[in-house]
Amino acid sequence: MKKIYLSNPRGFCAGVKYAISFVENVHNLYQNEQIYVRKEIVHNRRVVNDMAKKGIKFINELDEAPENSIVIFSAHGVSPEVIQIAKEKNMRIGDATCPLVTRVHRKAKKLRETHQIIYIGHKGHDEAIGTMGEAEMFLVESEEDVVSLVGKINLDKPLTYLMQTTLSVSDTKKIIDKIEEVFPNVEHPDKDDICYATTERQEAVESMMDSIDAMLVIGAPNSSNSMRLVQLAQKKKPKSFRVSSAEEINKDDFDNLNLEVMGITAGASSPQILIDEIITKIQTFYPDVIVSNFPGSREDSMNFKLPRELLK
């Protein structure tokens, strides 16, 4: 391998930085108390393991934490049912949900009074479960799913759609086109819900496709935005692949791929240290490889402020 181009923006987005800082600040403020986080705070084992080493406990469901305890909800958001259970257990709730996910929840709450809602998302993903808890919705993952809604949607009632924030921009457009074709009276929301971080990372990867032989995506298999980056890259560069950590890579695999120029990007929940470790390991395979930012690339454009009570 002769050259590595780094895609920009890559790695942590504003929502992930917000969620991690949220947990760290609560941990610092309540040093004598056990802090619980429901689900992975973000979909990255490295981040979760580092927090667990500091004493933060990760649970899958609220019955794993005692009454009155401090529980933080992850960046992906939770359904109202989970909030209700936490209140019944007198838990002190910290909500680290990304503000862009919260915005979709708010839209769902408003629309449920007046509209039938199609939700474009991935079945079983934490964000989809949380958002779909706000209202009765029809989940679709594909154009075929849209067609299967014929007969289930009441054509006399208003219909609209919402979406998961980390979808593929191009695949979602195809699904929206299909919704419009099958249900011509559908009302389009003012703004799509795919977030800036997902869009910018996908655009950056797409802009590199003619300059590389393959893209390496750093991210976890349960990270929706990472998986979309892999799919996107593989459409034009089939040798593109994903790894979660430096332990997963070895020189034989790279030699077999026979790449001259490789791109590297990272999902929104992959920390910089992980990216650095993987680049360093590749440099041990190919000591002469030149690593540089891809020309014309840009930086992440957003930032979220923590609640004032956490900034003491």
Binding mask 71-90 for ligand SF4 (x = CB under 6 A): ----x---------------
Distance of CA 66 to the CA centre of its chain: 29
How many residues would you count in the chain?
Answer: 312
| Known active-site residue 299 | no
Contacts with ligand SF4 in 213-242 (CB under 6 A)? 225
Shortest Cβ distance from residue 216 to ligand SF4 (Å)? 20
Angle between helices 99-111 and 14-29 (to 10 degrees): 100
Position 268 contacts ligand SF4 (CB under 6 A): yes
Binding of residue 166 to ligand SF4 (CB under 6 A): yes
Dihedral over Cα of 11, 16, 17, 21: its sign:
negative
Give the span between the Cα atoms of 26 and 307, in whole angstroms. Answer: 11
Closest CA to 35 of 93, 82, 107, 121: 93
d(CA 169, CA 165): 10
Give the nearest residue (CB) to ligand SF4: 15
Minimal distance in Å, beta carbon 33 to ligand SF4?
Answer: 26
Q: Closest CB to ligand SF4 among 194 and 264?
A: 194
Q: Which of 24, 61, 127, 143 is catalytic?
A: 127
Specify the residue, 225 or 240, whose C-beta has the smaller distance to ligand SF4. 225
Stretch that binds ligand SF4, among 12-20, 29-37, 207-215, 231-239 (CB under 6 A): 12-20
Write out the two tokens for 207.
Answer: 């802009």
Considering the rule CB under 6 A, would residue 197 count as an interface residue with ligand SF4? yes
Residue 16 touches ligand SF4, criterion: CB under 6 A: yes
What are the tokens at 201? 């990372």
Q: Does 195 bind ligand SF4 (CB under 6 A)?
A: yes
14 binds ligand SF4 (CB under 6 A): yes
CA-nearest of 47, 172, 174 to 122 is 172
Cis omega before residue 80 (within 30°)? no
Q: Which one of residues 4, 6, 13, 78 is an interface residue with ligand SF4 (CB under 6 A)? A: 13
Residues in CB range of 137: below 8 A, 6 or more apart: 108, 117, 118, 119, 131, 162
Q: How far is the CB of 209 from ligand SF4 (least distance, A)?
A: 22
Nearer to ligand SF4, 62 or 101 (CB): 101
Residues 88-147 within binding reach of ligand SF4 (CB under 6 A): 98, 100-101
Nearer to ligand SF4, 16 or 232 (CB): 16
Helices (H), 166-305: 169-182, 196-208, 224-236, 251-257, 272-285
Distance separating alpha carbons of residues 138 and 267, to the nearest angstrom: 28
Number of residues that bind ligand SF4 (CB under 6 A): 15
* Active site residues per annotation: 127
Query: For binding to ligand SF4 (CB under 6 A), which residues are involved?
Result: 13-16, 75, 98, 100-101, 165-166, 195, 197-198, 225, 268
